[in-house]
Copies of this chain bind each other. A is one copy, B any other.
Amino acid sequence: MATLDALNPSPNSSAAELSELEVGVIDFFVSAVKVLGFPKSIGEIYGMLFVSSDPLPLDTLVDRLRMSKGSASQGLKFLRTFGAVKAVYQPGDRRDHFTAELELKRLTAGFLREQIQPRLDHGEERLGRLSHLTAQLSQDAVGEFQRERVQKLERWSARSREVMPLLGSLLE
């Protein structure tokens, strides 16, 4: 292979250093996903795909971001679960290639569906149990107070559920 290498000064082009702009965009997303409570690697992957004009395979992410294969694999899996990243068929290459989803509305919808909905559901289950508990509370002022507080939580929960779909329409 030595001879072929000589013909190509940068045999592994996918490992090229990131440009200043690329670093900036990736960094922007690293901060952004931290707000959502996701790990840095998620921001790096999405950011890299976002600045890249072509779909990229896992290898390239590993090389250019200097990230382990494990992180890249898990990160892509996670991003796919809520449609932030799509697999794109590349003719003549059997590796999967990925691009970033660019519609803010879809990204939001995926986030709400995968991250928020399940927690709201879980919260409602808990509230159901709490509500049941309040029935056994004493009939004095403290008991009455606590019953009211649990009711307030139920109103909050219901309100949150109503607001969620509205968020999507705000981004229309």
Q: Is A119 an interface residue (CB 8 A)?
A: yes
Q: Is A94 an interface residue (CB 8 A)?
A: no
Of the listed stretches A2-10, A85-93, A126-134, name the one at the interface; the rest are far from the partner chain. Answer: A126-134
Q: Is A122 an interface residue (CB 8 A)?
A: yes
A32 and B123 contacting across the interface, CB-CB below 8 Å: yes
- Tally of this chain's copies: 2
Provide the residues of chain B in CB contact with A18, threshold 8 Å: none
Provide the residues of chain B in CB contact with A166, threshold 8 Å: 170
Q: Is A163 an interface residue (CB 8 A)?
A: yes
Q: How far is the CB of A18 from chain B (nearest CB, A)?
A: 12
A137 and B31 contacting across the interface, CB-CB below 8 Å: no
| A159 interface neighbour in B21, B149, B156, B171, Cβ under 8 Å | B171
| A126 interface neighbour in B20, B24, B122, B170, Cβ under 8 Å | B24
Provide the residues of chain B in CB contact with A37, threshold 8 Å: 35, 37
| A27 interface neighbour in B24, B35, B51, B126, Cβ under 8 Å | B126
Closest to A127 in B: B28
Closest to A126 in B: B28
Of the listed stretches A55-63, A64-72, A75-83, A138-146, name the one at the interface; the rest are far from the partner chain. Answer: A138-146
Sample (10) of A-B pairs whose CB atoms are under 8 Å apart:
A21-B137, A24-B133, A25-B130, A25-B150, A28-B153, A35-B37, A37-B37, A53-B145, A159-B171, A163-B170
